[in-house]
């Protein structure tokens, strides 16, 4: 197959250039084995060149690159439009092609923490100058885009570029500061913060915004804020320019609480597991605030966080208490008269309701997923009692269905087996994986016995 003509290669290059990083990385992986003079090989070369260019861009602009997210208009974080980063980099390559080429060569042997970052810092300074002039078309387009998303954003970006060398150095220590704050670590964090603050009154908050953007969990930057301020009281932090990092985290907790309270049970196991992850995040976020700030129960922040912690326990316990109703809907029973009394017996006359089964799956996945966070969250006791009761009901249900099979008291054995399969699935999050396998083996044994009994010839 012939390679793509130049015109089509240019189209591919434009499409790849404007695609998000994840898409480009996915394309590179998909085309990894393509070779030769084919159309796909031509696409691969374009993708490889784009990946290499982005790696260089992300290294040169490392201190600010993570700030370019979405449309850049996030009200609760410092962001710029993602598309503007492409324009800025293209403008920088146009303005300083030789310096960019030298940086690409330098990157081949670059070792963070060992090599000098001067070639990268020089390019950032060049970009800041270019933005102040704004004459290049790509710079002008980026400026218009940034200002539309965030009025005054270009001035903020230039300020971020000014402190980028300090942020680049601090980023090397960031894992250490986040993992465990020692006296030495706190001292180095304070020095880095003071170094950044030399560039202006707004440099302090920008310093932490830029460092936080480097983290998988940006809210953990509060640990560094706390180290720099020596675990401040809530009143002291609330009155400082860095209060935004605490209030933003409290606002995120409120959002996460609403997500847990309203998560869709119809989404099955995936939905329940995702909600459990949010609960885990909530416990970590609340812990973060309690550890980073000297709170007062009767204080504004202290009172709010205490109520959030109570709300978390209330929301989780409320969801857990739905399990009994969902379980009875997924594994229905009905009351039958035996002698002079009524007893509950599995109802094996209709197919399992997929909707009810899926809702129960979701809540059981949720209950299993919050195990690690239950103690801190204050809902360990409720979780234990709910699952203990669910286990008792489930175990009795399994015994009743198996007994009905053995007694030939089932009109449709396959239907009974399907209910037992659902019960086996429920047994795993309620008890453990072994419990589910035991139910499956007992079901197979009961069915084989019934089948063999029915195949025996009748006695004359």
The per-residue pLDDT for range 103-123, each reduced to its tens digit, is 999 999 999 989 999 999 999
CB burial of 151-161 (b: ≥16 within 10 Å; e: otherwise) equals: eebbebbebbb
In a domain, 264, yes or no: no
Average pLDDT over residues 125-147: 94
pLDDT of 345 higher than 90: no
For the chain, the residue count is 460
Average pLDDT over residues 378-388: 96
pLDDT of 8 higher than 70: no
Average pLDDT over residues 382-386: 96
pLDDT of 5 higher than 70: no
CA separation for the pair 367, 365 (Å, rounded):
5
Q: Which pLDDT belongs to residue 1? A: 40
Q: Which pLDDT belongs to residue 403? A: 92
In a domain, 370, yes or no: yes
- Backbone angle region of 72, left / alpha / beta, with phi > 0 → left and psi within -120 to 50 → alpha: left
Q: Where does the pLDDT of residue 154 fall: very low under 50, low under 70, confident under 90, or very high at 90 and above?
A: very high
- Per-residue pLDDT of 193-228, as tens digits, reads 999 999 887 899 999 999 999 999 999 999 999 999
pLDDT of 308 higher than 50: yes
pLDDT of 409 higher than 80: yes
In a domain, 91, yes or no: no
pLDDT of 346 higher than 80: yes
Average pLDDT over residues 407-411: 86
In a domain, 335, yes or no: yes
Q: Which tokens hold the place of 244?
A: 């935004």
The 3-state secondary structure of 164-191, one letter per residue: HHHHHHHHHHHHHHHHCCCHHHHHHHHH
Domain extent at residue 335? 324-455
Q: Which pLDDT belongs to residue 7? A: 63
- Per-residue pLDDT of 434-446, as tens digits, reads 999 999 999 999 8
CA separation for the pair 208, 137 (Å, rounded):
31
DSSP state of 150: S
In a domain, 250, yes or no: no
Phi, psi of 363 (to 5 degrees): -70, -35
Adjacent-strand bridge partners of 138: none
* Cβ-defined contacts of 180-185 (< 8 Å, 24+): 181/223, 181/224, 181/226, 181/227, 185/227
CA-based max dimension of the chain:
107
- Per-residue pLDDT of 417-436, as tens digits, reads 999 999 999 999 999 889 99
CA separation for the pair 249, 365 (Å, rounded):
27
The vertex-47 CA angle with 81 and 4, nearest 5°, equals 125
Q: pTM score, two decimals?
A: 0.83
Q: Which pLDDT belongs to residue 202? A: 83
CA proximity to 214, closest of 20, 69, 24, 52: 69
Last residue in a domain, options 59, 88, 104: 59
Please give the mean pLDDT across all residues of the chain: 89
Q: Which pLDDT belongs to residue 50? A: 75
pLDDT of 457 higher than 60: no
Domain count, the chain: 2
In a domain, 442, yes or no: yes
In a domain, 379, yes or no: yes
CA separation for the pair 256, 279 (Å, rounded):
8
pLDDT of 36 higher than 80: no
Rounded to the nearest angstrom, the gap between the alpha carbon of residue 359 and the centroid of all alpha carbons in its chain is: 23
In a domain, 339, yes or no: yes
Average pLDDT over residues 368-386: 95
* Cβ-defined contacts of 287-292 (< 8 Å, 24+): 287/376, 288/219, 288/220, 288/222, 288/223, 288/249, 289/222, 289/246, 289/249, 289/250, 291/223, 291/226, 292/222, 292/223, 292/225, 292/226, 292/231, 292/246
Q: Where does the pLDDT of residue 456 fall: very low under 50, low under 70, confident under 90, or very high at 90 and above?
A: very low
- Per-residue pLDDT of 253-290, as tens digits, reads 999 999 999 999 999 999 999 999 999 999 999 999 99
């Amino acid at each position: 197959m012939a390679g793509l003509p130049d015109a089509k290669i240019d189209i591919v290059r434009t499409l790849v250039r404007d695609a998000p990083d994840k898409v480009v990385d996915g394309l590179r992986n998909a085309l990894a084995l393509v070779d030769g003079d084919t159309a796909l090989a031509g696409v691969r070369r374009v993708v490889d060149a784009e990946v290499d260019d982005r790696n260089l861009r992300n290294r040169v602009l490392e201190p600010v690159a993570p700030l370019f997210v979405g449309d850049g208009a996030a009200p609760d974080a410092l962001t710029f439009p993602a598309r503007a980063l492409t324009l800025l980099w293209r403008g920088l390559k146009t303005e300083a092609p030789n310096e960019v080429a030298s940086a690409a060569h330098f990157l081949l042997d670059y070792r963070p923490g060992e090599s000098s970052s001067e070639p990268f810092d020089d390019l950032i300074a060049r970009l800041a100058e270019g933005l102040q002039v704004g004459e290049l078309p790509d710079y002008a387009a980026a400026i218009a885009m940034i200002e539309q998303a965030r009025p005054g954003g270009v001035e903020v970006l230039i300020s971020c570029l000014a402190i980028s060398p300090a942020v680049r150095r601090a980023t090397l220590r960031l894992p250490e500061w986040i993992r465990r704050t020692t006296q030495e670590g706190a001292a180095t964090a304070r020095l880095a913060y003071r170094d950044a603050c030399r560039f202006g009154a707004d440099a302090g908050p920008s310093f932490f915004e830029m460092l936080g953007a480097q983290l998988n969990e940006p809210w953990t930057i509060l640990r560094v804020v706390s180290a720099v301020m020596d675990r401040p009281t809530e009143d002291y932090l609330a009155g400082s320019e860095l209060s935004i990092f605490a209030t933003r985290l409290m606002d995120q907790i409120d959002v996460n609480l609403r997500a847990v309270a309203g998560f869709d049970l119809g989404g099955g196991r995936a939905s329940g597991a995702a909600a459990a992850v949010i609960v885990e995040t909530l416990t970590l976020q609340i812990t973060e605030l309690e550890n980073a700030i000297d709170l007062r129960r009767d204080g504004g922040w202290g009172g709010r966080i205490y109520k959030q912690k109570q709300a978390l326990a209330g929301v989780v316990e409320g969801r857990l208490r739905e399990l009994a109703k969902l379980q009875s809907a997924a594994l229905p029973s009905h009351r039958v008269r035996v002698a002079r009394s009524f007893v509950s017996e599995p109802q094996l006359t209709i197919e399992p309701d997929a909707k009810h089964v899926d809702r129960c799956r979701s809540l059981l996945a949720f209950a299993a997923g919050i195990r690690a966070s239950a103690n801190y969250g204050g809902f360990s006791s409720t979780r234990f009692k709910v699952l203990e009761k669910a286990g008792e009901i489930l175990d009795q249900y399994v015994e009743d269905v198996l007994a009905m099979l053995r007694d030939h008291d089932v009109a449709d054995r396959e239907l009974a087996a399907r209910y037992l399969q659902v019960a086996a699935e429920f047994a795993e999050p309620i008890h453990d994986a072994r419990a589910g396998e035991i139910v499956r083996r007992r079901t197979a044994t009961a069915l084989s016995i019934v089948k063999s009994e029915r195949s025996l010839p009748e006695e004359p």
